Amino acid sequence: MSSSQRKDLGRALCIITGASRGFGRTVARELSRLVKPGSVLILTARSEENLRSLEVELAGSEAGKSGLLVQCVPADLAQMAGLQSVVSASRAAFSEHIDHVILVNNAASLGDVSRFTSSFTDMAEVDSYLSLNVTSCLCLTARLLQALPPRPGLCRSVINITSLCALQPFKSWALYCTGKAAREMMFRVLAAEEPDLRVLSYSPGPLDTDMQLVARSSTADPDLKKTFSDMFSSGQLLTCEASCAKLMKLLLEDSFTSGAHIDVFDL
Ligand SMILES: NC(=O)c1ccc[n+]([C@@H]2O[C@H](COP(=O)([O-])OP(=O)(O)OC[C@H]3O[C@@H](n4cnc5c(N)ncnc54)[C@H](OP(=O)(O)O)[C@@H]3O)[C@@H](O)[C@H]2O)c1
């Protein structure tokens, strides 16, 4: 462990997309434990019911009782109105007491993995995938950076939840691999442009979530499908908690190169 690891993440405004389930839900829980009283968590996803249950859970936790504010923003991030509601809630919560903004771009979809690349002839289908997984991620990040501008003493961290698929081709996963690669390059450009930001692309590893269930049941490529099924049946999938603990360690240590891709298995 680095000797300079911070004990907490400060009085933070955390915006977590895809917080309703899976990895994003765990990130919200873990961040709630590492931020100081007076911090605000903005939880967003489409499922209001799942967000509300997390809000209730966190309100009753140690952090909730010591002054953590949790706000749910049910929103479809594929829609401009959805982005705007997250930005409005974040701007309203950005008080002078906040000393750390943490944006976790976690929401994503797998896309149709039951077909191979040569079947994607419909521009509207591809545009719709990229709209949620690339365009909305870029535009939400840009809007939030404008709405929560730099000021003395404020640290701004932007986390992109990425995948090995950003770096390696997975047969029958054309949409997902393309989206993750594009997103990652976008964050590398951002890191190069704005050296004061802390930008991290964190690859959480194979997680036991709904997305994995779709991966092992629908993947068209038989070898890849078998790999996912074997990982599941032999207990090789990671829990969201185990992977998230490594992400939290990276944030506390704060020694990563801005814009870097860091995989859970690198740590
Ligand atoms: N699972 C893995 O093995 C794995 C491996 C590497 C990387 N990752 C990455 O880790 C992240 C989390 O994955 P996961 O496995 O937790 O996925 P998941 O279980 O499918 O959860 C996806 C989250 O994104 C939200 N979301 C999806 N479409 C949305 C939309 N249109 N608007 C707003 N929110 C939306 C979902 O909430 P609602 O449905 O309520 O909107 C949900 O909270 C993703 O970026 C994924 O690519 C996952």
List domains and CATH numbers for the chain: 12-206+240-266 (3.40.50.720)
21 lines ligand 1 (CB under 6 A): yes
Whether 1 has a pLDDT exceeding 90, the answer reads no
pTM, 2 dp: 0.98
Burial of 83 (C-beta count, 10 Å sphere; 0-12/13-18/19+):
buried
Q: How far is the CA of 23 from the centre of ligand 1 (A)?
A: 7
- Residues 154-181: tens digit of each pLDDT: 999 999 999 999 999 999 999 999 999 9
Tell whether ligand 1 has an atom less than 6 A from the beta carbon of residue 210: yes
Q: Under DSSP, is residue 162 helix (H, G, I), strand (E, B) or coil? A: coil
- Write out pLDDT tens, residues 185-224: 999 999 999 999 999 999 999 999 999 999 999 999 999 9
Q: Is the CB of 110 under 6 A from ligand 1?
A: no
Q: Which of 100, 81, 106 is nearest to 23 (CA)?
A: 106
